[in-house]
Structure 1
Amino acid sequence: MQPMFHRQEALEVPAVSVSEASALRSCRPVVLPPAVAAAVWRGDALGQTVSTTWPSGFDALDAVLPGGGWPGFGLTELLLPQAGTLEFRLLGPLLGRIAAEGGRMVLVGPPIPPHAPGLLPHGVGTDALIWVRADTAAERLWATEQLLKAGSCGAVLSWLPAVRSDQLRRLQVHAAASAAPAFLCRPAHAARESSAAPLRLVARAGGVGDDWQLLVDVVKRKGPPLAHALALSAPPAGLPQVWPSRRVDAPRPAVVVSREAGHAVVRAEAAQSRRTASFH
């Protein structure tokens, strides 16, 4: 007697290659919920920050910054060829806006004492400035960290020429919990180093004929890389009223150094009149 058994027919499934399966999946549109779609950022688009932002005072700069201005809830690095020369030309409009709203700016370890008369044209008085004298790197780092943790300042501007990557990460963690804009001023060569700061800019002065321009490179931001430098008209506050533009195409009076005057510089017509008078 033959044993009885049931034979189960195998279902034949057509074979599909990996590339074909990927193509099939890519053809299906993925619809995300609106809340999720708003939180998704694509690397080829300029990121829109969810934090508070302040206009920088330069339309060209706001156009390339995520959120359209200086961000809160994070660090911003200003990388400069020489400390103490360009910071307030770039940040003056922001500091004036914060001072007008009753906020106070804390300066940690500036390389030179703050020049209060130079900030008055921006609307920043001495009552809105707090200068923290910190001579060593450890003191500046500690003071900056405590200010970011407190979160009670209108803005924090700290000069940290030498700081490790792990220290930057810790500062970024504290800055991410504070709505106030936080700026770290570091040397320009630090652009070659990695940093946890989500926004990094390199600023340098323009040439003689550039009408007090600042050239700004955005070396790191939430978005595609910026291929060109921004030319911002940023004269020192109050200086254009007493010192004209440095444009090379502006007419300039001719000057000569007269032997009679020694060290003095006199105009050409004045020197000619003296020589004419000596012949009579």
Structure 2
Amino acid sequence: AVLPGGGWPGHGVTELLSAQSGTLEWRLLGALLRQVCAAGRSVVLVGPPRPPHPPGLRLDGIAEQQLVWVMAETPAERLWSTEQLVKANACGALIAWLPQVRAEQVRRLQVLAAGCAGPVFLCRPATAARESSAAPLRLLARVGADWELLVDVFKRKGPPLETTLHLPSVPGGLQAILTPRLQKPSTLLPLEPAPQTAPFPLPSEADHALVSTPAAVTRRHRLAH
């Protein structure tokens, strides 16, 4: 209800900011992605920091056969892939990890995404909150207690939201197996502190072998069962 229209925008750019890239986005967008998949539309990921996990997606009710993963390694590849997908307007939802995107690039994406039939989410680091952006909706998410997500909506259409949202966010695979007590870990008694031990020495540079690999070419993968 705090978002314009009472839910996620159906088009345009939304910025999701987090210090835990690749994790909180799924928990925040899970319900929306289930709706997109249920409608028979595809969810496209551009440059996620780690590969999608099909068993976890199934437990969250997200059909992995409708998930398209675009492997784009460099900032330029990720931005180009995102722009082409927005222009094609073929996604039920597009999630792009663009940690180094600039303000003028976000502005161009917002202009393109205004005519999309699905939402476009840009995942950026929490430090980007200090930067200006043309995205009409910007959120900062972080982990709270008891499987909660703490979300600050620091830019939206209409009056600013002054309070932090506390959203329940138990992953779908754990909802059925966690006892009510384990779903409220803050109520558990704290454990005794572990005894202090001497830290392991850090390895020297001589202990490491440097291996260079060629840059990956952008390619598109469709996850299957």
Aligned to 1:227: 162
Superposition deviation, residue 125 in structure 1: 1.8
**Alpha-carbon deviations, 1:98-134, whole Å to 9, x = none?**
1011011000000000011111123212211000000
The 1-side partners of 2:187 and 2:4 are apart by: 36
Q: Spell out the pairing of 1:202-213 with structure 2 (5 A cutoff).
A: 202-206=140-144, 210-213=145-148
Checking the alignment, whether the CA contact within 8 Å between 2:60 and 2:171 is kept in structure 1 is no
Superposition deviation, residue 136 in structure 1: 0.3
TM superposition score normalised by structure 1:
0.65
Superposition deviation, residue 202 in structure 1: 0.2
**Alpha-carbon deviations, 1:42-83, whole Å to 9, x = none?**
xxxxxxxxxxxxxxxxxxxxx110111110231000000121
1:89 is paired with a residue whose SS is: helix
Q: Spell out the pairing of 1:234-253 with structure 2 (5 A cutoff).
A: 234-243=169-178, 244-250=182-188
Superposition deviation, residue 204 in structure 1: 0.2
Q: How much is the aligned-residue C-alpha RMSD, in angstroms? A: 1.7
- Indicate whether 1:190 and 2:128 are aligned: yes
- Indicate whether 1:201 and 2:136 are aligned: no
Amino acid at match of 1:169: R
**Partner residue of 1:154 out of 92, 116, 132:** 92
TM superposition score normalised by structure 2:
0.80
- Indicate whether 1:177 and 2:115 are aligned: yes
Aligned length: 190
Checking the alignment, whether the CA contact within 8 Å between 1:84 and 1:112 is kept in structure 2 is yes
- Indicate whether 1:138 and 2:138 are aligned: no
Amino acid at match of 1:224: P
Higher relative contact order (CA 8 A, sep 6+): 2
1:70 is paired with a residue whose SS is: coil
Aligned to 1:81: 19
Q: 4+ runs of 1 displaced by more than 4 Å?
A: none
- Stretches of structure 2 that go unaligned for 5 or more consecutive residues are 195-225
Q: Alignment identity in percent?
A: 61
